[in-house]
Amino acid sequence: MSTERTFIAIKPDGVQRGLVGPILSRFENRGYKLVAIKLMTPGKAHLEKHYADLAGKPFFPGLIEYMNSGPICAMVWEGRDAVKTGRVLLGATNPLASAPGTIRGDFAIDVGRNVCHGSDSVENAEKEIALWFKPEDLVSYKSAAFDWVYEKA
Ligand code: UDP
Ligand code: MG
């Protein structure tokens, strides 16, 4: 069984709007396993590193200000195809283009207040997990639901 991991974050608007529970539930309900979680305000330098690929974009300063405006709930979720399916659960970057049933399609309107982040590739997931968590923050355990979620390991 692939132990693919993805970095998912509930942005400050999601935390302030009381959406930590509902967003967590989408991943739990789907069958993914939570392996790390912490609430943090990591500061501008860390956020600029996280979004380094977007540094040249006109929305970059506003994005960093938004991400730095309150606590972020940082998480690592594990399971089959976790990166790609995590993005499907989040919905499109612009919430107005997100299908109902996705997190952004159910909880957001503006692209600059789109409540959640998810890694876009396995390679970036590994980088983001290493940026946001220490190796010992990632908890190793067998989910009691494993054999009910997966037909074959
Ligand atoms: N963003 C924005 N305006 C844009 C595009 C993106 O404010 O026109 C913000 C938005 O919060 C988005 C984040 O920048 O989630 C990162 O952009 P990316 O293209 O990586 O989208 P994501 O991977 O989050 O769907
Ligand atoms: Mg992205």
Q: End-to-end distance of the chain based on CA atoms, in angstroms?
A: 5
SS3 71: coil
For the stretch 83-104, pLDDT in tens is 999 999 999 999 999 999 999 9
pTM of the model: 0.98
Q: Phi and psi for 122 in degrees, rounded to 5?
A: -65, -40
pLDDT value at position 153? 85
Catalytic residue flag (residue 50): no
With a 6 A CB cut-off, is 6 part of the ligand 1 pocket? no
What are the tens digits of pLDDT across the range 73-82?
999 999 999 9
**DSSP letter assigned to residue 102:** B
At 127, list the tokens.
Answer: 């980088």
CA-closest residue to ligand 1 atom 22: 93
Which residues of the chain have a pLDDT value below 70? 1-2
* Ligand 1 atom nearest to CA at 66: 11
